[in-house]
Amino acid sequence: MRKYKPIRMSATIFSNDSRVIFDDQAYVELNNLLANHRYSKLFLLVDQNTHQYCLRVFLGKLDKVHEFEIIEIPAGEAHKQIETCTQVWSAISELGGDRKSLLINLGGGVVTDLGGFVAATYMRGIEFINIPTSLLSMVDASVGGKTGVDLGALKNQVGVFTEPLMVLIDIEYLNSLPANELRSGLAEMLKHGLIRDKIYWDRLSEMDKLEPSALQELIYRSVEIKNQVIKEDPKESGLRKILNFGHTLGHAIESYFLEQPDKTTLLHGEAIAIGMVMESYLSVKLTGFPEETLEQIKAVFANYYPYQEISSKELDSIIELMRFDKKNNSGKVNFALLQDIAKPIWDINADNELINKALEYYKK
Protein backbone atom coordinates (compact mmCIF):
# COMPACT_ATOMS: atom_id res chain seq x y z
CA MET A 1 0.00 0.00 0.00
CA ARG A 2 1.20 3.51 -0.85
CA LYS A 3 2.13 5.98 1.89
CA TYR A 4 0.21 9.24 1.80
CA LYS A 5 1.23 12.61 3.18
CA PRO A 6 -0.75 13.48 6.32
CA ILE A 7 -3.56 15.96 5.80
CA ARG A 8 -2.89 19.31 7.47
CA MET A 9 -5.61 19.91 10.00
CA SER A 10 -6.52 22.97 11.97
CA ALA A 11 -9.15 22.93 14.71
CA THR A 12 -11.74 24.94 12.80
CA ILE A 13 -13.07 25.16 9.27
CA PHE A 14 -14.99 28.36 8.56
CA SER A 15 -18.08 27.63 6.55
CA ASN A 16 -20.30 30.54 5.45
CA ASP A 17 -21.83 31.96 8.64
CA SER A 18 -20.99 28.91 10.68
CA ARG A 19 -17.89 27.09 11.93
CA VAL A 20 -17.03 23.40 11.92
CA ILE A 21 -14.89 22.72 14.97
CA PHE A 22 -13.06 19.49 15.66
CA ASP A 23 -12.42 17.50 18.84
CA ASP A 24 -11.30 19.13 22.09
CA GLN A 25 -11.37 22.66 20.70
CA ALA A 26 -15.04 22.15 19.85
CA TYR A 27 -15.92 21.36 23.46
CA VAL A 28 -13.85 24.30 24.71
CA GLU A 29 -15.98 26.58 22.51
CA LEU A 30 -19.24 24.88 23.41
CA ASN A 31 -18.45 25.02 27.11
CA ASN A 32 -17.63 28.72 26.78
CA LEU A 33 -20.83 29.39 24.90
CA LEU A 34 -22.95 27.56 27.46
CA ALA A 35 -21.12 29.17 30.38
CA ASN A 36 -21.69 32.67 29.04
CA HIS A 37 -25.00 32.11 27.38
CA ARG A 38 -28.13 34.10 27.73
CA TYR A 39 -30.40 31.43 26.35
CA SER A 40 -33.80 31.19 27.98
CA LYS A 41 -33.87 27.40 27.51
CA LEU A 42 -31.55 24.71 26.20
CA PHE A 43 -33.11 21.99 24.06
CA LEU A 44 -31.33 18.84 22.96
CA LEU A 45 -32.78 16.86 20.05
CA VAL A 46 -31.86 13.18 19.81
CA ASP A 47 -33.28 10.09 18.19
CA GLN A 48 -33.76 6.89 20.11
CA ASN A 49 -30.28 5.58 19.20
CA THR A 50 -28.34 8.75 19.84
CA HIS A 51 -30.28 9.08 23.10
CA GLN A 52 -29.01 5.65 24.07
CA TYR A 53 -25.44 5.81 22.72
CA CYS A 54 -24.37 9.44 22.33
CA LEU A 55 -26.09 11.48 25.01
CA ARG A 56 -23.91 10.17 27.81
CA VAL A 57 -20.74 10.85 25.79
CA PHE A 58 -21.94 14.37 25.08
CA LEU A 59 -22.88 15.19 28.67
CA GLY A 60 -19.54 13.78 29.83
CA LYS A 61 -17.71 16.38 27.72
CA LEU A 62 -19.40 19.34 29.37
CA ASP A 63 -17.55 20.87 32.28
CA LYS A 64 -20.71 21.98 34.02
CA VAL A 65 -24.17 20.54 34.49
CA HIS A 66 -26.72 22.39 32.39
CA GLU A 67 -30.44 21.93 32.36
CA PHE A 68 -31.33 20.49 28.96
CA GLU A 69 -34.85 19.68 27.84
CA ILE A 70 -34.32 16.46 25.91
CA ILE A 71 -36.60 15.80 22.95
CA GLU A 72 -36.44 12.37 21.37
CA ILE A 73 -37.71 11.42 17.92
CA PRO A 74 -37.88 7.93 16.42
CA ALA A 75 -34.77 6.94 14.45
CA GLY A 76 -34.62 6.64 10.69
CA GLU A 77 -35.37 8.32 7.40
CA ALA A 78 -39.05 7.29 7.56
CA HIS A 79 -39.46 9.85 10.36
CA LYS A 80 -37.82 12.75 8.52
CA GLN A 81 -41.29 14.11 7.86
CA ILE A 82 -43.26 17.22 8.67
CA GLU A 83 -45.34 15.25 11.25
CA THR A 84 -42.18 14.74 13.31
CA CYS A 85 -41.42 18.48 13.06
CA THR A 86 -44.91 19.22 14.37
CA GLN A 87 -44.20 17.03 17.38
CA VAL A 88 -40.86 18.74 18.00
CA TRP A 89 -42.29 22.27 17.55
CA SER A 90 -45.10 21.35 19.98
CA ALA A 91 -42.65 19.91 22.51
CA ILE A 92 -40.48 23.04 22.36
CA SER A 93 -43.54 25.23 22.72
CA GLU A 94 -45.01 23.23 25.64
CA LEU A 95 -41.64 23.29 27.39
CA GLY A 96 -41.58 27.07 27.21
CA GLY A 97 -39.26 27.60 24.23
CA ASP A 98 -39.07 31.17 22.95
CA ARG A 99 -36.91 33.14 20.52
CA LYS A 100 -33.98 33.08 22.92
CA SER A 101 -33.88 29.29 23.14
CA LEU A 102 -31.03 27.18 21.77
CA LEU A 103 -31.50 23.82 20.07
CA ILE A 104 -28.62 21.33 19.97
CA ASN A 105 -29.07 18.55 17.42
CA LEU A 106 -27.22 15.42 18.48
CA GLY A 107 -27.56 12.76 15.83
CA GLY A 108 -27.17 11.62 12.27
CA GLY A 109 -28.32 13.47 9.17
CA VAL A 110 -31.99 12.92 10.00
CA VAL A 111 -31.66 14.69 13.35
CA THR A 112 -29.46 17.52 11.99
CA ASP A 113 -31.62 18.05 8.85
CA LEU A 114 -34.90 17.96 10.76
CA GLY A 115 -33.59 19.78 13.83
CA GLY A 116 -32.08 22.52 11.66
CA PHE A 117 -35.40 22.98 9.89
CA VAL A 118 -37.32 23.03 13.18
CA ALA A 119 -34.92 25.66 14.56
CA ALA A 120 -35.06 27.78 11.40
CA THR A 121 -38.84 27.92 11.49
CA TYR A 122 -39.75 27.88 15.19
CA MET A 123 -40.83 31.47 15.98
CA ARG A 124 -39.16 32.43 12.67
CA GLY A 125 -35.83 31.09 13.78
CA ILE A 126 -33.86 30.19 16.89
CA GLU A 127 -30.15 29.45 17.17
CA PHE A 128 -29.00 25.87 16.80
CA ILE A 129 -25.85 23.77 16.98
CA ASN A 130 -25.22 20.53 15.11
CA ILE A 131 -23.31 17.66 16.66
CA PRO A 132 -23.22 15.00 13.95
CA THR A 133 -22.89 11.48 15.31
CA SER A 134 -22.87 9.41 12.12
CA LEU A 135 -20.05 9.44 9.58
CA LEU A 136 -22.43 10.64 6.92
CA SER A 137 -23.61 13.58 8.92
CA MET A 138 -20.02 14.49 9.86
CA VAL A 139 -18.70 14.56 6.30
CA ASP A 140 -21.75 15.81 4.51
CA ALA A 141 -24.88 16.93 6.37
CA SER A 142 -22.72 18.99 8.77
CA VAL A 143 -21.72 21.60 6.19
CA GLY A 144 -23.64 23.55 3.63
CA GLY A 145 -26.66 24.90 5.45
CA LYS A 146 -29.23 22.59 3.88
CA THR A 147 -32.01 21.57 6.26
CA GLY A 148 -35.39 20.02 5.69
CA VAL A 149 -37.61 17.00 5.58
CA ASP A 150 -38.99 14.54 3.05
CA LEU A 151 -42.49 14.87 1.62
CA GLY A 152 -43.77 11.31 1.66
CA ALA A 153 -41.14 9.43 -0.33
CA LEU A 154 -39.78 12.57 -2.00
CA LYS A 155 -36.40 13.30 -0.47
CA ASN A 156 -35.73 16.71 1.08
CA GLN A 157 -38.68 18.26 -0.73
CA VAL A 158 -39.41 20.82 2.00
CA GLY A 159 -36.67 22.82 3.67
CA VAL A 160 -34.59 25.95 3.97
CA PHE A 161 -30.97 27.00 3.76
CA THR A 162 -29.85 28.05 7.23
CA GLU A 163 -26.56 27.89 9.11
CA PRO A 164 -26.01 26.47 12.58
CA LEU A 165 -24.09 28.54 15.09
CA MET A 166 -21.44 25.86 15.06
CA VAL A 167 -20.88 22.25 14.07
CA LEU A 168 -18.96 20.10 16.52
CA ILE A 169 -17.19 17.03 15.13
CA ASP A 170 -15.94 14.36 17.52
CA ILE A 171 -15.10 10.90 16.15
CA GLU A 172 -15.74 9.32 19.55
CA TYR A 173 -19.42 9.17 18.60
CA LEU A 174 -18.55 6.80 15.77
CA ASN A 175 -17.60 4.03 18.20
CA SER A 176 -21.24 3.03 18.61
CA LEU A 177 -22.21 3.50 14.95
CA PRO A 178 -23.17 0.21 13.22
CA ALA A 179 -20.75 -0.93 10.48
CA ASN A 180 -23.28 -0.53 7.66
CA GLU A 181 -23.89 3.09 8.71
CA LEU A 182 -20.15 3.68 8.71
CA ARG A 183 -19.99 2.36 5.13
CA SER A 184 -22.90 4.60 4.22
CA GLY A 185 -20.89 7.67 5.25
CA LEU A 186 -17.86 6.42 3.36
CA ALA A 187 -19.84 6.70 0.11
CA GLU A 188 -19.97 10.48 0.46
CA MET A 189 -16.25 10.58 1.20
CA LEU A 190 -15.53 8.55 -1.92
CA LYS A 191 -17.67 11.03 -3.82
CA HIS A 192 -15.58 13.92 -2.46
CA GLY A 193 -12.47 12.21 -3.83
CA LEU A 194 -14.07 11.55 -7.21
CA ILE A 195 -15.28 15.09 -7.75
CA ARG A 196 -12.32 17.01 -6.34
CA ASP A 197 -9.18 15.16 -5.24
CA LYS A 198 -7.63 12.15 -6.93
CA ILE A 199 -5.07 11.54 -4.17
CA TYR A 200 -7.88 11.45 -1.61
CA TRP A 201 -9.87 9.04 -3.81
CA ASP A 202 -6.81 6.76 -4.15
CA ARG A 203 -6.23 6.86 -0.43
CA LEU A 204 -9.84 5.93 0.38
CA SER A 205 -9.99 3.22 -2.25
CA GLU A 206 -6.82 1.61 -0.94
CA MET A 207 -7.90 1.62 2.70
CA ASP A 208 -7.87 -1.92 4.05
CA LYS A 209 -10.16 -1.39 7.03
CA LEU A 210 -12.86 1.08 7.85
CA GLU A 211 -12.21 1.96 11.46
CA PRO A 212 -13.40 5.08 13.28
CA SER A 213 -9.97 5.74 14.80
CA ALA A 214 -8.39 5.93 11.34
CA LEU A 215 -10.92 8.38 10.01
CA GLN A 216 -10.15 11.65 11.71
CA GLU A 217 -8.03 13.38 9.08
CA LEU A 218 -10.10 11.87 6.29
CA ILE A 219 -13.26 13.38 7.77
CA TYR A 220 -11.43 16.68 7.95
CA ARG A 221 -10.48 16.46 4.26
CA SER A 222 -14.06 15.68 3.28
CA VAL A 223 -15.41 18.63 5.25
CA GLU A 224 -12.73 20.81 3.65
CA ILE A 225 -13.69 19.70 0.14
CA LYS A 226 -17.40 20.18 0.67
CA ASN A 227 -16.77 23.52 2.29
CA GLN A 228 -14.61 24.78 -0.61
CA VAL A 229 -17.40 23.91 -3.02
CA ILE A 230 -20.27 25.47 -1.09
CA LYS A 231 -18.30 28.61 -0.33
CA GLU A 232 -17.88 29.20 -4.03
CA ASP A 233 -21.53 28.50 -4.76
CA PRO A 234 -23.72 28.54 -1.63
CA LYS A 235 -27.10 28.41 -3.42
CA GLU A 236 -26.28 25.76 -6.00
CA SER A 237 -26.40 27.88 -9.10
CA GLY A 238 -23.32 26.24 -10.65
CA LEU A 239 -20.31 24.53 -9.10
CA ARG A 240 -22.20 23.18 -6.07
CA LYS A 241 -24.05 20.87 -8.43
CA ILE A 242 -20.94 18.64 -8.49
CA LEU A 243 -21.90 17.50 -4.99
CA ASN A 244 -24.87 15.81 -6.64
CA PHE A 245 -22.64 13.35 -8.44
CA GLY A 246 -24.30 9.96 -7.92
CA HIS A 247 -27.29 11.59 -6.25
CA THR A 248 -29.63 12.18 -9.19
CA LEU A 249 -30.05 8.44 -9.63
CA GLY A 250 -29.07 7.68 -6.03
CA HIS A 251 -31.84 9.78 -4.44
CA ALA A 252 -34.46 8.33 -6.75
CA ILE A 253 -33.24 4.79 -5.99
CA GLU A 254 -33.34 5.59 -2.25
CA SER A 255 -36.90 6.97 -2.54
CA TYR A 256 -38.04 3.99 -4.61
CA PHE A 257 -36.69 1.46 -2.11
CA LEU A 258 -38.23 3.47 0.74
CA GLU A 259 -41.74 3.29 -0.67
CA GLN A 260 -41.68 -0.40 -1.71
CA PRO A 261 -42.83 -2.62 1.18
CA ASP A 262 -41.10 -5.68 -0.34
CA LYS A 263 -37.70 -3.96 -0.67
CA THR A 264 -35.21 -3.55 2.13
CA THR A 265 -34.66 0.11 2.97
CA LEU A 266 -31.42 1.27 1.40
CA LEU A 267 -29.12 3.47 3.42
CA HIS A 268 -28.35 6.82 1.79
CA GLY A 269 -24.75 5.82 1.06
CA GLU A 270 -25.78 2.44 -0.35
CA ALA A 271 -28.17 4.17 -2.76
CA ILE A 272 -25.72 6.81 -3.93
CA ALA A 273 -23.02 4.15 -4.35
CA ILE A 274 -25.26 2.60 -7.04
CA GLY A 275 -25.90 6.10 -8.37
CA MET A 276 -22.16 6.81 -8.63
CA VAL A 277 -21.47 3.60 -10.57
CA MET A 278 -24.34 4.32 -12.97
CA GLU A 279 -23.44 7.98 -13.36
CA SER A 280 -19.78 7.07 -13.98
CA TYR A 281 -21.07 4.91 -16.82
CA LEU A 282 -23.07 7.90 -18.15
CA SER A 283 -19.85 9.92 -17.87
CA VAL A 284 -18.03 7.46 -20.14
CA LYS A 285 -20.78 7.73 -22.72
CA LEU A 286 -21.39 11.48 -22.51
CA THR A 287 -18.23 13.24 -21.39
CA GLY A 288 -15.30 11.05 -22.39
CA PHE A 289 -14.57 9.71 -18.89
CA PRO A 290 -11.90 6.95 -19.21
CA GLU A 291 -13.41 3.47 -19.41
CA GLU A 292 -10.66 1.83 -17.32
CA THR A 293 -11.35 4.29 -14.47
CA LEU A 294 -15.02 3.31 -14.64
CA GLU A 295 -14.01 -0.31 -14.05
CA GLN A 296 -11.88 0.74 -11.06
CA ILE A 297 -14.75 2.76 -9.58
CA LYS A 298 -17.14 -0.16 -9.97
CA ALA A 299 -14.67 -2.50 -8.24
CA VAL A 300 -14.14 -0.11 -5.30
CA PHE A 301 -17.88 0.28 -4.70
CA ALA A 302 -18.52 -3.46 -5.13
CA ASN A 303 -15.96 -4.04 -2.40
CA TYR A 304 -17.93 -2.00 0.15
CA TYR A 305 -21.60 -2.15 -0.88
CA PRO A 306 -23.82 -5.18 -1.37
CA TYR A 307 -25.28 -5.61 -4.84
CA GLN A 308 -28.95 -4.57 -5.07
CA GLU A 309 -31.29 -6.12 -7.58
CA ILE A 310 -33.14 -3.52 -9.67
CA SER A 311 -35.23 -4.64 -12.67
CA SER A 312 -35.63 -2.48 -15.76
CA LYS A 313 -39.34 -2.15 -14.93
CA GLU A 314 -38.35 -0.77 -11.52
CA LEU A 315 -35.96 1.59 -13.27
CA ASP A 316 -38.96 3.14 -15.09
CA SER A 317 -40.44 4.08 -11.69
CA ILE A 318 -37.03 5.36 -10.54
CA ILE A 319 -36.74 7.55 -13.67
CA GLU A 320 -40.24 8.85 -12.95
CA LEU A 321 -39.12 9.80 -9.41
CA MET A 322 -36.13 11.70 -10.81
CA ARG A 323 -38.55 14.19 -12.34
CA PHE A 324 -39.38 15.39 -8.84
CA ASP A 325 -35.74 16.06 -8.03
CA LYS A 326 -35.27 19.73 -7.13
CA LYS A 327 -32.20 19.90 -9.35
CA ASN A 328 -34.24 19.31 -12.47
CA ASN A 329 -36.16 21.88 -14.37
CA SER A 330 -38.51 21.95 -17.35
CA GLY A 331 -39.03 18.19 -17.01
CA LYS A 332 -35.40 17.47 -18.00
CA VAL A 333 -33.20 15.31 -15.80
CA ASN A 334 -29.84 16.97 -15.24
CA PHE A 335 -26.77 15.07 -14.12
CA ALA A 336 -23.50 16.16 -12.57
CA LEU A 337 -20.94 13.89 -14.24
CA LEU A 338 -17.18 13.48 -14.47
CA GLN A 339 -14.82 14.07 -17.36
CA ASP A 340 -12.14 12.45 -15.26
CA ILE A 341 -11.49 12.04 -11.52
CA ALA A 342 -11.54 15.56 -10.01
CA LYS A 343 -12.88 17.00 -13.31
CA PRO A 344 -16.62 17.37 -12.82
CA ILE A 345 -19.09 18.80 -15.28
CA TRP A 346 -22.78 19.55 -14.63
CA ASP A 347 -26.14 20.14 -16.30
CA ILE A 348 -25.74 17.17 -18.63
CA ASN A 349 -28.89 15.46 -19.92
CA ALA A 350 -29.11 11.71 -20.40
CA ASP A 351 -31.99 9.96 -22.15
CA ASN A 352 -33.86 7.00 -20.70
CA GLU A 353 -32.23 4.52 -23.07
CA LEU A 354 -28.77 5.45 -21.82
CA ILE A 355 -29.92 5.32 -18.19
CA ASN A 356 -31.18 1.79 -18.89
CA LYS A 357 -27.76 0.89 -20.27
CA ALA A 358 -26.17 2.31 -17.12
CA LEU A 359 -28.34 -0.05 -15.07
CA GLU A 360 -27.29 -2.98 -17.26
CA TYR A 361 -23.66 -2.01 -16.62
CA TYR A 362 -24.26 -1.92 -12.85
CA LYS A 363 -25.86 -5.37 -12.98
CA LYS A 364 -23.07 -6.99 -15.04
The site for ligand NAD (CB under 6 A) is made up of 47, 49-50, 53-54, 75-77, 80, 107-111, 113, 133-134, 136-137, 140-141, 144, 146, 155-156, 173, 176-177, 181, 184, 268
Rounded to whole angstroms, the Cα distance separating 325 from 258 reads 16
Output the smallest distance, CB 289 to ligand NAD, in A. Answer: 24
Closest residue (Cβ) to ligand NAD? 109
Nearer to ligand NAD, 48 or 296 (CB): 48
DSSP structure string for 151-166: ETTEEEEEEEE---SE
Rounded to whole angstroms, the Cα distance separating 136 from 128 reads 19
Is 139 in contact with 192 (CB distance < 8 Å)? yes
Nearer to ligand NAD, 177 or 278 (CB): 177
Nearer to ligand NAD, 80 or 298 (CB): 80
Output the smallest distance, CB 141 to ligand NAD, in A. Answer: 4
Output the smallest distance, CB 346 to ligand NAD, in A. Answer: 17
Tell me the angle at which helices 179-196 and 291-304 cross, rounded to the nearest 10 degrees. Answer: 160
Output the smallest distance, CB 323 to ligand NAD, in A. Answer: 19
Convert 195-257 into a string of H (helix), E (strand) and C (coil): HHCHHHHHHHHCCCCCCHHHCHHHHHHHHHHHHHHHHHCCCCCCHHHHHHCCHHHHHHHHHHH
Output the smallest distance, CB 175 to ligand NAD, in A. Answer: 7
Rounded to whole angstroms, the Cα distance separating 194 from 186 reads 12
Nearer to ligand NAD, 181 or 279 (CB): 181
Nearer to ligand NAD, 92 or 267 (CB): 267
Nearer to ligand NAD, 29 or 113 (CB): 113
Output the smallest distance, CB 351 to ligand NAD, in A. Answer: 27
Is 274 in contact with 253 (CB distance < 8 Å)? yes
Give Cα 190 distance to the centre of its chain.
12
